[in-house]
Amino acid sequence: MKLYQKGAASASCHCLLLLTKTENIEAANLKEHVMSAYAGNWVQFFIDWDQKMKQRTEEQTQELQETILAASRFTVDSLQQENERLRADLQYLLERERKRELAEKLKQERALLRKSRKRAQRQQAATASYSKVSVRRTFVASRL
């Protein structure tokens, strides 16, 4: 019986050390707590402590899951905002490129139109001068 009590005492000391680390309770206060709350019933104390640790682990797991979920929501939201911003930038750049191409095309068409007008004016001038020469020749030929 004494061997059992020594083993239980050793185990309880080891558990007391664990408790003081996990519960942030001083060893002297812990012993008083167990004596007053559990009337020296260490087994019930450790059963309750084990349940408390399981509950704390579940709470911490839930908090961690909520934190991860919030972080993932934030990440998704920020990625969506970045995607929308990039899409707007791309749309702006495409519109600017389209306007630049239209301006270049308009510039080329105006240059072609100017060349065409000059060519038409030269042809008109050539036709007019040919007509004048032809009229003069006809006039001179008719006088002869």
| DSSP for residue 39 | T
The structural domain count of the chain equals: 2
pLDDT reported for residue 64: 92
Name residue, tokens 């919030």: 70
| DSSP for residue 21 | H
* Torsion region of 116: left, alpha or beta (phi above 0 gives left; psi -120 to 50 gives alpha): alpha
**pTM (predicted TM-score):** 0.42
- Does one domain contain both 65 and 122? yes
- Does one domain contain both 70 and 38? no
| Confidence band for 126, pLDDT divided at 50, 70 and 90 | confident
C-alpha–C-alpha distance, residues 18 and 61, integer Å: 21
- Does one domain contain both 19 and 74? no
133 found inside a domain: no
56 found inside a domain: no
51 found inside a domain: no
Q: Which domain holds residue 69?
A: 61-126
Q: What 3-state DSSP class applies to 55?
A: helix
- Does one domain contain both 78 and 109? yes
C-alpha–C-alpha distance, residues 71 and 114, integer Å: 64
Q: What 3-state DSSP class applies to 10?
A: helix
- Does one domain contain both 72 and 119? yes
- Does one domain contain both 105 and 68? yes
| Confidence band for 6, pLDDT divided at 50, 70 and 90 | very low
